[in-house]
Structure 1
Amino acid sequence: MMKFILTGAGIASMACFVACNQGQQSADTEKATPDAVAANVDSTVNPAQDFFDYANGGWIKRNPIPDEYSAWGIGNLVQEELYKRLRIINEKAVENPTDATSKKIAAFWKSGMDSVKINADGIKPIEEELKAIDAVSNLQQLVQLAAKQHNQTGVLCDLSIGQDAKNSELIIVQFSQGGLGLPNRDYYFNTDDRTTKIRNAYPAHVAKMLQFTGLDSTTAQKAAAGVIALETILAKSSRKLEALRDPEANYHKMAVTNLNKIAGSVDWVDFIKQQGISKFADTVIVGQPEFYTALSNALKSQPLDTWKNYLKWNLINRSSEMLSDTIAGTDFAFYGTLMRGQAKQKPRWKRVLDAEEGAIGEALGQLFAKEFFNATAKKRYENLVEEIRAELKTRIEHLEWMSDSTKQKALYKLSKITKKVGYPDKWKDFSAMDIKEQSYYQNMLASRQWWLAYQINKLGKPVDRTEWDMTPQTYNAYYNPSNNEIVLPAGIFTVPGKRDEELDDAVVYGYAGASTIGHEITHGFDDEGRQFDASGNLKSWWTKDDERKFNERAAVMVNQFNGYVVVDSLRINGKATLGENIADLGGILLGWEAFKKTDQFKKNEKIAGYTPSQRYFMGYALGWLGHTRKESLARQVLTDVHSPAKFRVNGPFSDVDAFYEVYGIKPGDGMYRADSTRVRIW
C-alpha cells in the first residue's frame, strides 16, 4: 500500500538532501533555475492525446537511462546527489569516528569497499554454511538447517513478525508463501515471449551459481534441473498477485500444532524456535495454507540431494552481492541484465550505500533529519495533510451511493488516521548491532540478525504505534492499515534542485498533496484498506449493499486498466493494481479540491506560461517523471501492484472531470473516456 516511484531494487531512498540543501545558492543561481514543471514539457505532444508524454516527454528525450539502471527519473535525480553526500559522510566516519554510531558506519563502509579482500575471499564467507548443508543426511536435519539459515536465505517459505490483522494490538508470528528463485509464480507458467526467455535462461544461471559452491559443470546442471522442478511444484501452489491482495482470504489464524497437521513434514514449533523465538508463538497466522501442504508433500516426495542443492542455491543467491565480483556479476547478469535490462552494475560504492540503507539507514536518518528538513517545511506538509483530510470528509459526506450508517463509520475512521510527517519522534537504538572490523558478509549478517532480534522482541509487548518502517530520507511513503496511519518521510516531498519555499502551491498540491498525501489517505478506503476499521482491525463495517456498490464502481477501474498494453502484449493487471489505482485517482481529486481554496488558484496568474490549474496537473505528473526499460516494465507488470508510471498519470486523469475542463478534452482525444465509463468512487 505504498506509493512507489521507481522500478528496480534499492533505488527508492534518501532524497531530500537535494532540495533541502539548496540554501547556499546565490540569487543569480536561483533565477537561473528552470521552472519545476515547465522545463519538462514536450511541446510537440498534445496534452489531450497523451498527458504523460506532454508533461514529462521533454525531460525524457534529454535524459536517456544510464547503463547501470533499469529506470531513470525524478527519484534517481535526488538519489544521485544523495549518493555523493552519503559517500562523504561515510568517508568522514572512517577518518574520524566520533561515537559508537559513526564507528559502525565506518566499519560497514570499509568492509563493503574492500574489494581486494572480498575478491580474495571468494566463496569463503559461506563455506561453513555450505559444509553444514553437505553434512545433512536425513530430512529432519535438512529442515532444522533450513530453519537455522532462514534469516539469511529466506529458504522454504516466508516467516515474519507483525500485527495481527484482526487484532491490531497483538504482534504475532506469520507464515506466507515463498521459497521461489524467480519473482513469483507467473514466471514458472506464463507463455509470453519475455517470460519464456527468462524461464529458459534460469536453469543455466542456477547451474553457474551452483558451480561456485563446488559442483562441477555436469553435476551443477543436473542439480539446477532438480532445483527448478522443485520450485515449480511450490509455484504451482502459490497464489497469484491479485489473490494476495484479499486480506480476508489470506488470513488463517491457528495453533502452531494445527500447522503441523496440514504440513507435517516440518516440526513448525521447532522451526520457530530455530529463529530464536522461544515464547509467544503458540498461535500463528498462515496466509496460504495450501502452499504449506504442497511444501510438506514436496519435502517427502523430492530427493534429499535435490533439497540440499536447493539450500545451496538459496544461500549463494541471497549472498551473492556480499561475495566476489565474479559471483556478484554472474548474479547480476541474470537478475539485472536479463530481467531488468541493466547493461552494467552500479559502481561498488553505490551498491554499498544501498546495502547500508537497509542495514542501518535510520542511524543516517538522524543526521539527515537534523540538518535537512526544517520546521517550516514540516509544518507546511502537516497542514496540507489536514487540508486533504478535510476534503475527503466533505466528499464522503456528499456521496450519493453510500448509506448514512457506513458514512458515519468512514468519517470516524478518517478522523482517526494518524499522520507522521518528516521523521520519527523516537529513534531506533542500533548499539547492539554487531557491525565492526570484519568481512562485508559478516557485517551484513550481523545486521540481519539484529533486525530479526528486533522483531522478535516485539512479541508479547504492546504495539509501538510510534515506529516508522521507512527512514526519513526515503523517497516513498505508505499507509499502514493495522495502525490506520499515513507515514510521509521528508524525502518524498523533494523536487530536485528546488528549495521547498521556491515551489508554488500548484506544484506542491499536485506533487505532494495529490500523488502522496491524498494517495496515502485514500488507501484507507481502497478495495483492501476499506476492510480495516478505525482501530486497524480487519473487520466488516460496511453494509452489504454499500459493499456491492463499491465493488461495482471498482470494477469499472479494473476494466479500464485491464485495457492498457504496457509492453509487447503484456497488459496491466487491473485487479492486482486496483488499490493503487484507486489511491491515485482519490489523491488527484482530493488535491484538486484543496488547491481550489488557495490564493494562487483564485488569482489565476500564470507562471512560466502556465495557469495555476495547468500547473496542478503538471505537478502531479512530475511525481512520475521518468522512463523504464522494456525488460523492467515486463517484470513490473507481473510482480508489482503499482501500474507503470505513465498509466498512473494518464489512467486516473482520464477519470477526472476537472482535467477535461482545464485541457479541453473532447471525444476522439487519446485522454478521453465517455462520462459513463469514468470511475466514480470517492
Structure 2
Amino acid sequence: MQTPRYPIPSALVLASALALAGCASSKPAPTTAAATPAPAATPAPNDFLAGIPATSEGRSINVADMDRSVSPCDDFFRFSGGNWLKNNPVPSYTTRWGPRNLLGDRTQTLLRQILEESARTSAPKGSNQQKVGDFYASGMDSTALETAGLKYLKPELARINAVKDLKSLQTEAARQLTLGTGAFFRAGVGPDRKQSTVYAVNLSQGGLGMPDRDYYLKDDARSKAIRSAYTNYMTNTFKLLGDDDATASKKAAAVVRVETRLAQASKDRVALRNPQASYNKMTVAEANAQFPNLGLPAMLAQNGLGAAKEVIVGQPDFFKELSAVMKTEPLADLKTYMAWQLVSSLPSALPKAFSDEAFRFQQVMSGAKQQPVRWKRMLAATDGALGEAFGQLYVDKAFSPEAKQKALTMVNDIKASMASHIQSNTWMSDATKQEALKKLNALRVKIGYPDQWKDYSTLSISRESYLKNLLAVRQWNYRQNVKKFGGPIDRNEWGMTPSTINAYYNPPMNEIVFPAGYLQPPFFDPEADDAVNYGAIGGVIGHEITHGFDDQGRQYDSEGNLRDWWTKADGEEFTRRAAVVGNQYSAFQPLDSVYVNGKLTMGENLADFAGLTVTYGALQKRLQEKYGDAPRPKIDGLTPEQRFFLSWAQLRRSNIRPEALRQQILTDPHSPDQYRTLGPLMNMPQFYQAFGCQPGQKMVRPDAERAVIW
C-alpha cells in the first residue's frame, strides 16, 4: 500500500532530507585515537556467562534471547539476541520484525480500542472524538467504498481532464499541491534556514511514483524488475479506471517517460544531504524567469502565498527541467501523469481492487507477503490525518506525568555529559567549543505531546465518504501550513504524532522531540534499572542530541540558522574523523554485492556512535552518584555496563526480508540494525572493557583504525 502523500511543511521536509546521503568499500583511513586502555581486572571473554541465569530476573534485558555460543567480542549482534532472531521470523504481514514492531502491535491494540470506541460513540458534532470516530469509520466501511466506486474521485479527474493549455495545466498543478498528490514537485512553508526567525516558501524536487530516482535509472536486473512491476501496476490501475488494454499500456508508458525525465534531473540522496547546496534563495521574478512554464507567481497567489516576494529553491536544475517538461511533453501525457499521481496517492480510499494492485507492486519492492488488515491501515491513516486529535485520546491512557519527568531527567543528564565531552575535546578549538556549548544550551526539548494541541475546528469530517475526508484533511493541512507565512515562528509545532514510536532532531528549530509512543517499554521503562534505560531510550536521546553536531546538523547554529560557526581547521578535522566512520560502514556487506552506503548513512551513524558514547558517560556519572566507590550491583549476573550495551543491542535486533533490506540500503539514511549495533561498539574501548575483549577479536578495532570524535 502506498502511503498517502500529504503536503509536508518544508521544515519537516528538511528534517527528513537532512538525514539522507554513495557507496565505497575501502580500508578505513587511519586517525588519531587514544590508545585502547587495557581492561582492568576483567574476566576472560565469556567467563562471565557462567553467572548468568537461564531466565531473567531483572526488567527489559532478556537473557534467554542471547546466543551463548557466540562471543560478545566477535559478534555482539548475534550474542545479544541470536536466539531471539532464530525464534522470531518475519510475520507474513510485514517486511521486518523487531522490538519496535512488538511495541507497535501493543500500541495498535490500545489505539484500536480508542478508535472503535470513538466510532461507536455519538460524540458532539465538531468535537475531536466525532472527527476521529467518523474518519476511522468511513475508512472501515468497505461496502460503502465498493458502492461508491469512482463517484468521489470523478470530480478531481474531471478537473484534470479539463486542462486544455499550459495556463490551465499550471492552475491544476497548483491544485495538486493542495491535494498532496505528489505531482511534479513539493512546496511548503517553513523557517528560512539562514534566517530562522521568519518563514519562507520552499520548493523541492519531487514528482516520482517510485521511492527513489535510481529505480528509474539503474539497469541491474532488480531495478528492471521493479520498473516492470511499476508499469504493470499502472497499466492495471488505468484499466480499473475504465481504459482498454492498449490505452492503459500507452498511458503507463507515458507516465514512466515523464517520471524518468524528472528522475534524471533529480539529485541523488547523497547530494541532498548538503543543506548549503539545497539553499538557493531568489525572488519570485527571478524564479519565474528561470522556470517560466511553472507559472510560479499565479501558482503562489492561487495557493494563498501571493504575498511571497522570494522563494528558496532546493534544486534549481530540477526545476529547469520540470519547466521544460511542462512545455515539451504532450499535454495529454501530462494530464495522464497528474491523474496517476492522484489515483496512486489514494488506493485505500477506492474499491479494493485498487489497493490490491498497489500492494502487488509493494510485494515486488519490499518482499511483503500479506497486505496488512484494513483496521491497521485505517489506524495509520487516522493517525496521519488527525494525529493530535487522536493523540489527545491516546496520551490520557498511555503516558503519565511521572514518566515524562523521568525522561526529562535523563535528557538533562545526557546534555550535561555532552557538554563535558565538548569541553574535554582534544582537537576542537576554544572558539568552536564555545559555539557548540551555546548551541547545546539553546536546545529545545519536547517530551510526550504538545503543550498546545492543534485546533481542528475548521476541518469538516463526516461518514459520507472516506475519500472526501482524506482530500479534506490534505487541503486543510496545506492551508494550515500556508497560513504560517508572514507570522511568527511557531515553536510549539510537532512533526510527529503523540503515539509515534520514533523521535527526531529538527535543525532549523534546534529541538529534539520524543513522542509518548516511544517512551514505553522496552524502550523506556520507569521501573527498570538505570543501565537498561540509559542503553535503550538514553541511547536514542543521545542520538538525537548529537544529531545537532553530526555532519549536517553541525552546519546550523544555536538559533537554527544555516551558518558555519566552525573554525576552518576544526571543520576540516571533523570531516576527516567523520570520513573514518563513513569508510567503516561502507565496508559492511549485508547481502551479496550489496554494501551499506557510508555517505548516505553518515549522519545517522555519527549520531549512533556519538550518542552512545555521550550516554555512557551520563550513566557513569549517575552510577557514581548512586554508589560512589562501592561495588556496583549485578542483575542476572551482569554489570551495569554490560546491561547498558545489551540494552542498546537488544532493541536493535531484527529480522528483515532481503527485498526490504535492499530497498533500505538504497533509500534509508539509517544503516541496517545489525550494523547500528556493531558499528559504534567496535570503536568503543568502554565496550571492550565491559566484556573483557582483547586485541584480535572481531569487535575490537586496532587503535589506528578506530573512529574518535567526541
Same fold flag (TM > 0.5): yes
TM-aligned CA deviation for residue 34 of structure 1: 6.8
Match of 1:520 among 521, 526, 544: 544
Match of 2:151 among 124, 129, 139: 124
Map of 1:553 onto structure 2: 577
Name the SS for the 1:421 alignment partner.
strand
**Residues 524-673 of structure 1: pairs in structure 2 closer than 5 A:** 524-599=548-623, 603-673=631-701
Name the SS for the 1:571 alignment partner.
coil
How large is the Cα RMSD of the aligned pairs?
2.1
Match of 2:438 among 412, 426, 432: 412
TM-aligned CA deviation for residue 138 of structure 1: 1.8
TM-aligned CA deviation for residue 437 of structure 1: 2.4
Residues 90 and 106 in structure 1, CA contact (< 8 A), matched pair in contact too = yes
Name the SS for the 2:590 alignment partner.
strand
Map of 1:134 onto structure 2: 161
Map of 1:16 onto structure 2: none
> CA distance change for structure 1 residues 620 and 677 in 2, over 3 Å: closer, same or farther?
same
Map of 1:477 onto structure 2: 503
TM-score by length of 1: 0.92
TM-aligned CA deviation for residue 622 of structure 1: 2.8
Residues 172 and 459 in structure 1, CA contact (< 8 A), matched pair in contact too = yes
Query: Are 2:199 and 1:171 aligned?
Result: yes
Residues 130 and 213 in structure 1, CA contact (< 8 A), matched pair in contact too = no
Q: Cα deviation per residue 1:452-488 (whole Å; 9 max; x = unaligned)?
A: 1111111111001122211222111111111111111
Name the SS for the 1:587 alignment partner.
helix
Match of 1:63 among 88, 101, 125: 88
TM-aligned CA deviation for residue 3 of structure 1: 13
TM-aligned CA deviation for residue 117 of structure 1: 1.0
Name the SS for the 2:513 alignment partner.
strand
Query: Are 2:369 and 1:369 aligned?
Result: no
- AA partner of residue 279 (structure 2): Y
Residues 3 and 520 in structure 1, CA contact (< 8 A), matched pair in contact too = no
> CA distance change for structure 1 residues 567 and 195 in 2, over 3 Å: closer, same or farther?
farther
TM-aligned CA deviation for residue 377 of structure 1: 1.4
Bigger Cα displacement from structure 2, 644-653 vs 194-203:
194-203
Map of 1:26 onto structure 2: none
Residues 37 and 55 in structure 1, CA contact (< 8 A), matched pair in contact too = no
| Distance in 1, Cα, partners of 2:274 & 2:195 | 17
Match of 1:303 among 310, 314, 330: 330
Match of 1:235 among 263, 268, 272: 263
TM-aligned CA deviation for residue 354 of structure 1: 0.5
> CA distance change for structure 1 residues 4 and 110 in 2, over 3 Å: closer, same or farther?
farther
- AA partner of residue 218 (structure 1): A
Name the SS for the 1:290 alignment partner.
helix
TM-aligned CA deviation for residue 535 of structure 1: 0.6
- AA partner of residue 509 (structure 1): Y
Map of 2:27 onto structure 1: none
Residues 18 and 552 in structure 2, CA contact (< 8 A), matched pair in contact too = no
| Distance in 2, Cα, partners of 1:44 & 1:31 | 18
TM-aligned CA deviation for residue 33 of structure 1: 8.8
Match of 2:466 among 432, 436, 440: 440
| Distance in 2, Cα, partners of 1:91 & 1:480 | 34
TM-aligned CA deviation for residue 281 of structure 1: 1.8
Structure 1 gaps of 5+ residues are 6-29
Name the SS for the 1:486 alignment partner.
strand
Residues 175 and 285 in structure 1, CA contact (< 8 A), matched pair in contact too = yes
Q: Cα deviation per residue 1:370-418 (whole Å; 9 max; x = unaligned)?
A: 3322222111111111111111111111111111111111111111111
**Residues 159-198 of structure 1: pairs in structure 2 closer than 5 A:** 159-198=187-226
- AA partner of residue 394 (structure 1): S
Q: Aligned residue pairs: how many?
A: 654
Match of 1:253 among 263, 273, 281: 281
Name the SS for the 1:502 alignment partner.
coil
TM-aligned CA deviation for residue 31 of structure 1: 9.6
Map of 2:416 onto structure 1: 390
Q: Cα deviation per residue 1:513-568 (whole Å; 9 max; x = unaligned)?
A: 12x11001101111001010111100111111111111111111111111111223
Structure 2 gaps of 5+ residues are 1-14, 20-54
Residues 507 and 560 in structure 2, CA contact (< 8 A), matched pair in contact too = yes
TM-aligned CA deviation for residue 143 of structure 1: 2.3
> CA distance change for structure 1 residues 657 and 581 in 2, over 3 Å: closer, same or farther?
same
**Residues 311-390 of structure 1: pairs in structure 2 closer than 5 A:** 311-335=338-362, 337-390=363-416
Query: Are 2:126 and 1:98 aligned?
Result: no
TM-aligned CA deviation for residue 261 of structure 1: 1.3
- AA partner of residue 84 (structure 2): W
TM-aligned CA deviation for residue 494 of structure 1: 1.8
| Distance in 2, Cα, partners of 1:612 & 1:37 | 14
| Distance in 1, Cα, partners of 2:640 & 2:154 | 62
Name the SS for the 2:167 alignment partner.
helix
Q: Cα deviation per residue 1:43-89 (whole Å; 9 max; x = unaligned)?
A: 23222222112212222222221111011111211221222222221
- AA partner of residue 274 (structure 2): D
Map of 2:50 onto structure 1: none
| Distance in 2, Cα, partners of 1:160 & 1:40 | 46
Map of 1:50 onto structure 2: 75
Residues 510 and 548 in structure 2, CA contact (< 8 A), matched pair in contact too = yes
TM-score by length of 2: 0.89
Bigger Cα displacement from structure 2, 606-615 vs 541-550:
606-615
Bigger Cα displacement from structure 2, 219-228 vs 525-534:
219-228
> CA distance change for structure 1 residues 32 and 616 in 2, over 3 Å: closer, same or farther?
closer
| Distance in 2, Cα, partners of 1:260 & 1:177 | 16
- AA partner of residue 230 (structure 1): V
- AA partner of residue 587 (structure 1): G
Residues 423 and 490 in structure 1, CA contact (< 8 A), matched pair in contact too = yes
| Distance in 1, Cα, partners of 2:571 & 2:62 | 40
Map of 1:88 onto structure 2: 113
Map of 1:465 onto structure 2: 491
